[in-house]
Amino acid sequence: MSQEVASKIIYGNTADDPEEFMGLAPRFNDTTAANGGQIIDAGGTGSDNTSVWFVTWGDNQCQLLYPKGTQAGVQREDHGEQRVTDDNGNAYYAKEEKFTWHVGLAVKDWRYVSRIANIDVSEMLRALLRCTTSCVKRTTNCRIAASPVVKCASTVTVMYWKRWMLWQPMQVRLTTLCV
């Protein structure tokens, strides 16, 4: 349920499904629109493009909301044990619960949302490896001096958005770069 809401925050589109709420991507998809200055086109043309979003959350910027008279967050309703049957007609008891979440998105001031669009993930990873290789070759102790996080024989985690998962870590092994 939380993955679905997270996906709707980015991709929800009332034109495709009136039951959804309008997410960020349909609001920030046209560089010629009034909010087009908030979109930076990274120029990717591959099939694995992604975006980076910068969102300021607040009462007068961007916020999640819920209908008046309802509670915020996930509501759980216990329906107890119900008698059900399997495919063969055999009866058994199952516990049943109902979960509901009434949520929407309000962008009160679009100047507080920015998007870097069309980032080619495969090219970004190639560039990261080229940069890391170059830095490692220039240092004598196999450490990248400017960054205490990246060092030889360690794993760099690059976080990027995928449609089916909010943040998907991608592991890049740097061990072979130290020769």
The tens-digit pLDDT sequence of the chain (179 residues) is 778 888 889 999 999 988 889 999 999 999 999 999 999 898 888 788 888 898 999 999 999 898 888 888 888 888 888 898 999 999 999 888 888 888 889 999 999 999 989 888 887 777 777 665 555 454 444 443 333 333 333 334 444 444 444 444 444 443 333 33
Q: Which alpha helices (DSSP H) does 14-167 contain, by range?
A: 24-27, 121-138
Cα(120)–Cα(46) distance, integer angstroms: 6
Phi-psi region of 79 (alpha: psi -120 to 50; beta: other; left: phi over 0): alpha
What is the per-residue burial (b if ≥16 Cβ within 10 Å, else e) of 92-129? Answer: eeeeeeeeeeebebebeebebbbbebbbbbebbbeebb
The domain in which residue 98 lies consists of 2-177
Contact 162, 156 (CB under 8 A): no
With vertex at residue 80, the alpha carbon angle to CA 77 and CA 81, rounded to the nearest 5 degrees, is 145
Structural domain count of the chain: 1
Q: Which amino acid is at 144?
A: I
pLDDT value at residue 172: 41
pLDDT value at residue 156: 41
pLDDT value at residue 141: 43
Quote the pTM value: 0.61
pLDDT value at residue 108: 94
Token pair of 93, please?
Answer: 């008891």
Contact 119, 50 (CB under 8 A): yes
